[in-house]
């Protein structure tokens, strides 16, 4: 596949474009080409954004490389959600500095939430950084690159109310060719008091659903068999057709994507307990290819803490949503995000989080201790008064309980047969495949001739740890759980 217009003007130079078929990563740079290296941290949305950045760069003659030592441009797509995430980025910048010293002329750019949060301050703090670009400004990259190549610093941290990158076809970086992310909306309007995201990613906006369906169709035609629809709060997806004034909500969108092909699995993340509707749950139940898995962050199991967090639901509301999920989709797995040691949290309130983990029977959770973020409502209004020691002890208790529950839930799967989408070789052996069931559990099983990534197989589970299921391909498929 060669670009039929092999030269384009950009960056004050004429650059030869040679896309070399479907090969996205080159081990060594061919002369005449420019190479970019990109690292992504944080949420799935950042990984998805990096693929949009990759597409924009490929339009101006850059190819991706896995080898930062040979790249002309090093980018880091950053996360600000906790202090630790920012510390990691700063450490990586020290490493990039070494590469830059050995290869003068290499440009270094900071993208994403940390760029947005710190803006020009980042250029003062980190002298090696040439480019600072916020999540809504990636279209400006070619222009900013030209500025940086002329020796100036390039910065754009403008947040948009409209940008959804709907027309940009992402360059699938490091893809397994089977599963892909599709970003369906950007920003967040929720203002949870602990969270920096509304400040770094701006106001919520939904993408044109027809462009989402087109992207899913294109992926399916290229052999992909699973898409994950991404947004900070997918349940508040809302798009109004400018011509017909018809409203498209998240349930409608799920249905539209599910109809692309019965063999295309549909996942989505993240759901918000205040917004997830029974209409969404019934849509999931109706379509075999919409996965029975909901990531429904609770954050805390205590109503007073939820109020301080401005989550706009209480414990009873959350419990009712969980009950509805298990009623309407009996085989559904639910996972969560949990924060321990939020401002003023008592031991008794912490116990409410533990009991919620048990009640909801989460298949897994992402668990954190509270990290105060500058500029958030919690930082302004509440004292960060739980000691690090207590935060960490509570976190350890949460993790221990979640591991027990995950282990029990996985043990209960022994003897069951699941439909699994093969994603590739298992981490440990090229004699085994790995894939997921509808409930998003990772399953490892010995390979069988004639099967390849992207195929569906039925696997009967014979062993389970708290993280992985193991089994054998069943022949013929017995009673199956989708
Ligand atoms: N401290 C700890 N965890 C946080 N999260 C968001 N902000 C913070 C913070 N300040 C967690 C929440 C959210 C997940 C993406 O990160 O659980 O759902
Ligand atoms: Fe942050 Fe809350 Fe928005 Fe999630 S829903 S991104 S936790 S403000």
* CATH code for the part of the protein at 2-156: 3.40.50.12160
Question: For the whole model, what pTM was predicted?
Answer: 0.91
**Whether the CB of 188 sits within 6 Å of ligand 1:** no
Tell me the CA–centroid distance for residue 349 and ligand 2, in Å. Answer: 21
Distance 368 CA to ligand 1 centre (A): 7
Which of ligand 1's atoms lies nearest the C-alpha of 194? Answer: 10
Rounded Cα–Cα distance for residues 345 and 340 (Å)? 8
Q: How confident is the model at residue 21 (pLDDT cuts 50, 70, 90)?
A: very low
- What is the Cα 458 distance to its own chain's centre? 27
If pLDDT is split at 50, 70 and 90, which confidence band does 3 have? very low
Each residue's pLDDT tens digit, 154-171 = 999 999 999 999 999 999
Q: Give me the half-sphere count of Cα atoms (radius 13 Å) on the Cβ side of residue 52.
A: 27
What atom of ligand 1 comes closest to residue 270's alpha carbon? Answer: 18
Q: Is the pLDDT of residue 32 over 80?
A: no
Domain with CATH 3.40.50.12160 in the chain: 2-156
Q: Quick check: 53 and 98 in contact, CB under 8 A? A: no
Residues in the ligand 2 pocket, defined by CB under 6 Å:
188, 190-192, 195, 197-198, 232-233, 272
Tens-digit pLDDT profile for residues 93-146: 999 999 999 998 999 999 999 999 999 999 999 999 999 999 999 999 999 999
Portion of the chain with pLDDT greater than 90, in percent:
90
Length of the chain: 482
CA distance 215 to 253: 13
Name the more confident of 207 and 30: 207
Among the residue ranges 11-20, 188-197, 350-359, the one predicted with the least confidence is: 11-20
Ligand nearest to the CA of 369: 1
Nearest atom (ligand 1) to Cα of 195: 7
Question: Which residues in the chain are classed under CATH 2.40.50.140?
Answer: 417-473
Tally Cβ neighbours within 10 Å of residue 477.
14
Q: Does the CA dihedral 113-115-116-122 come out positive or negative?
A: positive
Nearest-angstrom CA–CA distance, 281 and 327: 10
What dotted CATH number matches 417-473? 2.40.50.140
Partnered with residue 461 across adjacent β-strands are: 471
Q: Which CATH number fits domain 177-291: 3.40.50.2000, 3.30.750.210, 3.40.50.410, 3.40.30.10?
A: 3.30.750.210
Mean pLDDT for the stretch of residues 189-200:
96
């Amino acid at each position: 596949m060669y670009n039929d217009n092999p030269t384009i003007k950009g960056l004050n130079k004429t650059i030869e474009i040679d896309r070399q078929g479907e090969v996205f990563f080159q081990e060594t740079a061919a002369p005449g080409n420019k190479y970019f290296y990109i690292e992504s941290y944080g949420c799935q949305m950042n990984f998805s954004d990096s693929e949009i950045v990759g597409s924009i760069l490929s339009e101006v003659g850059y190819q991706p490389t896995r080898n930062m030592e040979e790249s002309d441009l090093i980018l880091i797509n950053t996360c600000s959600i906790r202090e630790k995430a920012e510390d990691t980025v700063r450490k990586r910048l020290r490493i990039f500095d070494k590469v830059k010293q050995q290869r003068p002329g290499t440009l270094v750019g900071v993208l994403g939430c940390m760029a947005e949060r710190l803006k020009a301050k980042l250029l003062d703090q980190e002298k090696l950084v040439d480019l600072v670009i916020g999540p809504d400004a990636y279209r400006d990259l070619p222009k900013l690159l030209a500025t940086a190549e002329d020796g100036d610093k390039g910065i754009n941290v403008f947040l948009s109310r409209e940008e959804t990158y709907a027309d940009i076809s992402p360059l699938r970086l490091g893809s397994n060719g089977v599963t892909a992310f599709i970003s369906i909306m950007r920003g967040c309007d929720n203002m949870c008091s602990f969270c920096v995201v509304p400040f770094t990613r701006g106001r919520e906006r939904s993408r044109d659903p027809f462009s989402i369906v087109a992207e899913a169709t294109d992926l399916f035609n290229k052999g992909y068999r699973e898409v994950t629809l991404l947004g900070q709060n997918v349940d508040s997806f809302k798009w109004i057709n400018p011509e017909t004034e018809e409203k498209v909500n998240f349930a409608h969108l799920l249905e539209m994507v599910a109809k692309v092909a019965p063999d295309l699995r549909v996942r989505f993340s993240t759901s918000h307990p205040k917004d997830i509707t029974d209409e969404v749950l019934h849509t999931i139940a109706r379509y075999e290819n919409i996965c029975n898995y909901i990531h429904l962050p609770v954050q805390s199991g205590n109503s007073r803490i939820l109020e301080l967090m401005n989550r706009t639901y209480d414990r009873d509301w959350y419990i009712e949503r969980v009950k509805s999920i298990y009623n309407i989709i009996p085989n559904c797995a639910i996972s969560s995000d949990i924060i321990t040691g939020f401002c003023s949290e008592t031991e008794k309130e912490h116990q409410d989080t533990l009991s919620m983990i048990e009640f909801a029977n989460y298949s897994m959770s992402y668990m954190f201790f509270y990290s105060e973020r500058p500029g958030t409502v919690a930082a302004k209004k509440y004292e960060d008064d739980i000691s690090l020691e207590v935060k960490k002890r509570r976190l350890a208790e949460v993790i221990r309980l979640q591991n027990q529950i995950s282990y029990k839930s996985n043990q209960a799967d022994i003897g069951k047969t699941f439909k699994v989408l093969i994603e590739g070789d298992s981490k440990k052996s090229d004699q085994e495949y790995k894939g997921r069931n509808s409930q998003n559990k990772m399953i490892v099983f010995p390979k069988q001739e004639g099967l390849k990534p992207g195929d569906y197989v039925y696997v009967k589970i014979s062993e389970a740890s708290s993280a992985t299921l193991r089994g054998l391909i069943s022949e013929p498929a017995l009673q199956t759980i989708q």
